């Protein structure tokens, strides 16, 4: 049985990836520091699976990470341990540098030692489309320059460059992926779609930055996870792969589509209305990536269209409303990302 290690596996993408890996008969070691966005509720579907092992550990703990690698000998490492909320990076950039840059540096140092005696091992470093910055026209390709706008995207760009440098300098077997906005079950309610769903279910206004014209490319989380496993199995070492759906929608239209879905399921409270709020500093207008490379080389393509995915997502939160109670409400109800001094 093939063993893989997933960092950040108590989070949104990590837990969905683990579930899919277990379905495909991998043995999975989940390494997570148990931060504010970590949630054991995310793993309840597979917590008792005999092929699943959880270890509490921060990727900045180099000694412990190296010992875990030596003990379990995974053939693949998916690095999903990261601070990811842009608004939080505006309020506290240091946390993003520590986790997304120094954490990745520590992981790279561990992997550099580990792979020398485990030559079949691969590191899959998962990043974001935000590193490309504003894309007002067309779509970003893997060969395009980075132009990050927020401390979050800058920290991810830095980690990508670190991984790339270790590939070139130390010849480590690694691959870098850049994915568009994910949505689906188990996402922290500080993020747009689960926050909207929470507010709808609790008869609260729906806050939208600026005029709601910011456009994002959305991909259902299961499609992203399938792409990552495909990259582990068939991806070319040293390469970058963009992972996206090719479907863009601006925030105001997203809210309207979500409300139209909800109306068929439940009565919407009178306080559920769109509320435009002051935009955050450095808010990019549009992200869009070109995913032709992974589609052509690895024969991957997304399966879930946006409306179907949005319906699935809403129903998951509707049927799992106690999920919201697993978090400190201050972490997702308080407005963040207003600092600009």
* Mean pLDDT score, 313-319: 97
Q: Give the burial string for 147-163 (b: 16+ CB within 10 Å, else e).
A: bbbbbbbbbbbbbbebb
* Mean pLDDT score, 176-183: 98
Question: What's the token pair of residue 312?
Answer: 């699935």
Query: Largest Cα–Cα distance in the chain?
Result: 62
> Which residues participate in catalysis according to the annotation?
129-130, 152
Residue 94 has pLDDT above 60, yes or no: yes
Please report the pLDDT score of residue 169 as a whole number. Answer: 98
CA quadruple 7, 8, 10, 14: dihedral, nearest 10: -80
Residue 340 has pLDDT above 60, yes or no: no
For 213, phi then psi, to 5°, come to -90, -5
How large a percentage of the chain has pLDDT more than 90? Answer: 93
Domains of the chain, CATH where assigned: 3-187+218-247+286-303 (3.40.50.720)
156, containing H or E segment: helix 151-170
Please report the pLDDT score of residue 326 as a whole number. Answer: 80
CA separation for the pair 227, 150 (Å, rounded): 26
pLDDT band per the 50, 70, 90 thresholds, residue 327: confident
For residue range 30-82, what is the model confidence (pLDDT) as tens digits?
999 999 999 999 999 999 999 999 999 999 999 999 999 999 999 999 999 99
* Mean pLDDT score, 215-229: 98
Please report the pLDDT score of residue 328 as a whole number. Answer: 75
Q: How far is CA 273 from CA 61, 200, 206, 256, 269, in A?
A: 45, 9, 6, 10, 9
Q: 3-state class of 53 per DSSP?
A: strand
- Higher local confidence (pLDDT), 266 or 263: 263
Q: Do 274 and 196 form a contact (C-beta atoms < 8 A)? A: no
CA atoms within 13 A on the CB side of 186: 22
* Mean pLDDT score, 231-252: 98
CA separation for the pair 293, 228 (Å, rounded): 14
Q: Say whether pTM exceeds 0.85.
A: yes
CA quadruple 216, 222, 226, 229: dihedral, nearest 10: 100
Residue 177 has pLDDT above 90, yes or no: yes
Please report the pLDDT score of residue 334 as a whole number. Answer: 64
Please report the pLDDT score of residue 341 as a whole number. Answer: 45
For residue range 102-157, what is the model confidence (pLDDT) as tens digits?
999 999 999 999 999 999 999 999 999 999 999 999 999 999 999 999 999 999 99
CA separation for the pair 172, 167 (Å, rounded): 5
N- to C-terminal Cα separation, the chain: 53
CA atoms within 13 A on the CB side of 273: 4
CA separation for the pair 19, 14 (Å, rounded): 9
Q: What is the mean pLDDT of the chain?
A: 95
Burial of 190 (0-12, 13-18, 19+ CB in 10 A): buried
CA separation for the pair 113, 135 (Å, rounded): 38
pLDDT band per the 50, 70, 90 thresholds, residue 338: low
* Mean pLDDT score, 188-207: 96
Q: Do 189 and 327 form a contact (C-beta atoms < 8 A)? A: yes
* Mean pLDDT score, 175-186: 98
CA quadruple 137, 141, 146, 149: dihedral, nearest 10: 40
């Amino acid at each position: 049985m093939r063993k893989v290690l997933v960092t950040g596996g108590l989070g949104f993408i990590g837990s969905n990836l683990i579930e899919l890996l277990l379905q495909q008969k991998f043995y999975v070691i989940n390494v997570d520091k148990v931060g504010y966005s970590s949630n054991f509720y995310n793993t309840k579907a597979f917590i008792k699976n005999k092929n699943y092992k959880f270890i509490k550990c921060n990727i900045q703990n180099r000694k412990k990470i190296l010992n875990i690698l030596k003990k379990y000998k995974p053939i693949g490492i998916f690095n999903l341990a990261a601070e990811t909320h842009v608004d939080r990076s505006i309020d506290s950039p240091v946390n993003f540098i520590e986790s997304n840059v120094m954490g990745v540096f520590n992981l790279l140092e561990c992997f550099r030692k580990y792979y020398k005696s485990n030559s079949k091992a691969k590191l899959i470093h998962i990043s974001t489309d935000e590193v490309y910055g504003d894309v007002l026209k067309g779509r970003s390709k893997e060969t395009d320059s980075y132009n990050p706008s927020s401390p979050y995207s800058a920290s991810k760009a830095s980690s990508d460059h670190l991984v790339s440098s270790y590939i070139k300098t130390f010849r480590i077997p690694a691959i870098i992926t850049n994915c568009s906005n994910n949505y689906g079950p188990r996402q922290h309610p500080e993020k747009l779609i689960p926050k909207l769903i929470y507010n709808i279910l609790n008869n609260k206004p729906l806050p939208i930055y600026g005029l709601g014209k910011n456009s994002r490319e959305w991909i259902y989380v299961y499609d992203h996870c399938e792409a990552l496993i495909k990259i582990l199995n068939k991806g070319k070492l040293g390469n970058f792969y963009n992972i996206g759906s090719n479907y863009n929608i601006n925030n105001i239209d997203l809210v309207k589509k979500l409300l139209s879905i909800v109306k068929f399921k439940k009565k919407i409270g009178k306080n559920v209305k769109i509320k435009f709020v002051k935009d955050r500093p450095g808010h990019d207008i549009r992200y869009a990536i070109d995913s032709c490379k992974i589609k052509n080389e690895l024969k991957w393509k997304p399966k879930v269209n946006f409306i179907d995915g949005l319906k699935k997502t809403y129903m998951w939160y509707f049927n799992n409303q106690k999920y919201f109670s697993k978090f400190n409400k201050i972490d997702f109800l308080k407005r963040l990302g207003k600092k600009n001094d």
